Structure 1
Amino acid sequence: MKPLLAAGLAATLLLGACSGAEAPPAPQPIPVRTVTIASQSVPNVIELPGRVEPVRVAEVRARVTGIVQQRLYEEGTDVRAGQPLFRIDPRELRASYAQTQAALQRAQATAANARAVVERYRPLVEENAISGQEYDAALAASREAQAIVAQIRAQLEASSLQLGYTTVRAPIAGRVGRAQVTEGALVSQAEGTLMTRIEQISPVYVSFAQAASEVIRIRRAIAAGEIDLDANDRVEVRLTFSDGTEYPVAGFIDFLAYSVDQETGTVELRAEFPNPQNLLLPGEFVRARIFAGQVQNGLTVPQRAVSLTEDGGTVFVVDGEGQAAVRPVKLGAMVDGRWIVESGLKVGDRVIVTNLQKIRPGAPVKVVQPQSRPQTGGAANAQQPARSGGAR
């Protein structure tokens, strides 16, 4: 009996050991879709912070000395060129104008009398009734009287200008600011008292600075044929507000400095933007995206394939063993829903674009309906007709 029990126990232990040594089932491959990286023409996008500036600024200053009687405009509104803004007390200048006008009339009477004397002396000197010296003296007195008339007439014109300056008018059209003086304030011509400012904000300028090294890199790439410029020789710029919304109207670079700031090592650039609805306000900080031509042999990936990190981003690619592998990438700008990849990927890599939440590094994947070529019409070609020029 004991030998039988021992044999049964041994058989049971042997079966248990065999069942515990069985390998777990292999994980099932996760179905994914991929895009195969291919080189293409992509926009050369440079992102820089910028500041909005008015195209013209006029400081309205006093051109005569006097007391401000009235403000004739509403602060913060649009004014036209020549529109009255302030009225300065004109009484003192009006009295000066009247005095000069009276002096002109007296000088004109004196000149008329001197001309009459010359006309009387002319036949007498021909008949030798008077000496030539007397005639010459009368002629000189007449010319002197005419000169005095011309001098006082100029003084009268200057007095008229001064009297006209008592109505302070807008030198340019634009948005007028708040008044710097109030009624009853004394303004001075000598000091040029500031009364208000006018800014033209349609269109507007956006100024930004680019590193000199980046300007050199772009010029070298253009010379090497790595960046193609548009035939129109214009560089498009698009703006993003601080809240992330995009300004709907594109602008173009209209100024590039040919000197480097010694303190910052940057080159100043400026773009002009239409501003029909006054959405861009002077002094506002915006984010500018400069489209400086097209880069040949560029790489892009769909936005949904990229997981953003502090150092850039990561994507999942299918390795040679059919497994998911993490690949860190350096990202450029995003254009039409696709990230421009500066480094980290090469032509032929298969980037996973679906089921990213389910896969982990090393997990087997099964490519379902792979897309052999990325759709190049979005990132590269959609912006191409509008791109032009380069930072030169």
Structure 2
Amino acid sequence: MSIKRFAEFLVTATFLLCVLALGALGGCSPQTSEPPAAKVPQVTVMTITPRAQAFETELTGRTQAFMVADIRPQVGGIVQKRLFVEGAQVKAGQALYQLDPSTYQASLAEAQATLAKNQATLTSSQLTAKRNAGLAKIDAISQQDNEDAQANLLTAQADVKVAQAGIETARINLAYTRITAPISGRIETSTVTPGALVTANQDTALTTVQQLDPIYVDVTQSTTDLLRLKRDLASGTLQSNSAGEAQMSLLLEDGSTYDQKGRLKFSGVSVNESTGTVTLRGVIANPDGLLLPGMYVRAVLEQGRDEQAILVPQKSVTRSEGGTASALVLVNGKVEQRALTIGRAIDNQWWITSGLKAGDQVIVEGGQKVHAGDAAQGVEVDTTPKTDTVANSTAVKEG
């Protein structure tokens, strides 16, 4: 092939390739199309279902004996016998100590002799007064003699009464030489032994008897919590139970739960200025004597009940920088933000006193993916409540 023909072939081939390239570019020209629809975020929601809820408060305290009697002698003397076993149960009226009664027996005998003497004098005075009264009527004796005889009769009668009282006193003092238990309970160690000299109404007690069944439980509660409780009861947010007496259970020092239930019987009428607390006193059965005075315990008090309590998981509630509590609620596929008022914590939930109602769908998971006004798709979480669960609660500042 000549060079001229080869050059013409190249020009023709180049032209055809350009035409084909232009056609290809024209066929791939962009066409207008709509963007894909945005995906609606999915969140986990919980539908609010009010339920009955008892509210409890756990308070620390110590046990106290129901009754305490310090045993002291009412007369002086030498201790002859100790009539009890230390640490044992004693009954009211049971003899505990015997003092030497000899001097008191002698005093009783002396009082009896004095009474006999005064009675003899009274008899003589009665006869003289009767005789002189008759003589005075016939003017056989002077009126002064008659009056003296009547006065002597009255004196003799008074002396007899004094002697009778002396006998009673001597008998009482003699009885005091046998020291008895004024109450039933457990008796402590003795501070004296036979042969010891004791005096009437001495400062040191011979021993102590404590009634431990039932037993008191004294706990303290802050005035802040007490005022909040009274306000909730007054407003009807909480319902009082059993005529205002709260049920009480105990947690012992080793963490175990005491098997008896008690009742809160008394609330202090004054506030401790140094701690800002009020003393609450409960009473609880102690048939086995497991609880001893002075033991540290934690009392769980049922202080109220809300028949329509609204509880939400704590993770579903957020707080602003100012401390205002709020939650995200799904309403007709749209996210709303609700301001809440929190009453207290119930385990890992908040008790909501305002801001939510039955049927509201609260977002519990996925809230970080949406904001108020966004569309969202809710997936219900299983929130089957336990039947009338009684949960420990701690009061918090209302948000």
Please, what TM-score do these two structures have when normalized by structure 1?
A: 0.71
Q: Percent identity?
A: 34
User: Structure 1: how far apart are the matches of 2:242 and 2:205?
Assistant: 47
Change (3 A) 1:221 1:378: closer
Q: Counterpart amino acid of 1:377? A: T
CA contact (8 A) 1:37 1:374 kept: no
Shift of 1:342: 5.2
Q: Counterpart amino acid of 2:284? A: F
CA contact (8 A) 1:187 1:193 kept: no
Counterpart of 1:227 in 2: which secondary structure? Answer: coil
User: Structure 2: how far apart are the matches of 1:292 and 1:375?
Assistant: 21
User: Structure 2: how far apart are the matches of 1:231 and 1:52?
Assistant: 23
| Corresponding position of 1:170 | 181
Shift of 1:254: 0.5
CA contact (8 A) 1:77 1:175 kept: yes
User: Structure 2: how far apart are the matches of 1:289 and 1:55?
Assistant: 20
Deviating above 6 A after TM superposition, structure 1's stretches of 4 or more consecutive aligned residues are: 33-37
Task: Select the residue among 252, 274, 299 that pairs with 2:311.
Answer: 299
| Corresponding position of 1:379 | 389
Q: Counterpart amino acid of 2:83? A: L
Shift of 1:80: 1.1
User: Structure 2: how far apart are the matches of 1:242 and 1:190?
Assistant: 38
For structure 2, the 5+ residue unaligned runs are 1-43, 314-329, 334-342, 370-378, 393-399
Counterpart of 1:263 in 2: which secondary structure? Answer: coil
Counterpart of 1:377 in 2: which secondary structure? Answer: coil
Shift of 1:350: 7.3
Cα deviations across residues 270-314 of structure 1 (Å, max 9, x unaligned)?
11111222222111111111111113434277xxxxxxxxxxxxx
* Bigger Rg over Cα: 2
User: Structure 1: how far apart are the matches of 2:206 and 2:242?
Assistant: 47
Q: Counterpart amino acid of 2:212? A: I
User: Structure 2: how far apart are the matches of 1:300 and 1:91?
Assistant: 79
- 1:244 to 2:264 alignment: no
Cα deviations across residues 357-390 of structure 1 (Å, max 9, x unaligned)?
xxxx99xxxxxx976442241415x99xxxxxxx
Superposed, which structure 2 residues align to 1:238-387 within 5 Å? 238-295=249-306, 296-299=308-311, 332=345, 340-341=349-350, 348=361, 372-379=382-389
Task: Select the residue among 49, 54, 58 that pairs with 2:65.
Answer: 54
Change (3 A) 1:331 1:225: closer
CA contact (8 A) 1:36 1:351 kept: no
Shift of 1:162: 0.6
| Corresponding position of 1:150 | 161
CA contact (8 A) 2:72 2:201 kept: no
User: Structure 2: how far apart are the matches of 1:370 and 1:376?
Assistant: 18
Task: Select the residue among 73, 82, 103 that pairs with 1:92.
Answer: 103
| Corresponding position of 1:198 | 209
CA contact (8 A) 2:249 2:258 kept: yes
Task: Select the residue among 69, 74, 89 that pairs with 2:80.
Answer: 69
Change (3 A) 1:300 1:79: farther
User: Structure 2: how far apart are the matches of 1:277 and 1:77?
Assistant: 13
Q: Counterpart amino acid of 2:387? A: G
How many residues were matched structurally? 307
CA contact (8 A) 1:68 1:185 kept: yes
CA contact (8 A) 1:48 1:289 kept: yes
Q: Counterpart amino acid of 1:91? A: S
CA contact (8 A) 2:191 2:205 kept: yes
Superposed, which structure 2 residues align to 1:77-226 within 5 Å? 77-226=88-237
Change (3 A) 1:195 1:300: farther
User: Structure 2: how far apart are the matches of 1:255 and 1:88?
Assistant: 41
| Corresponding position of 1:45 | 56
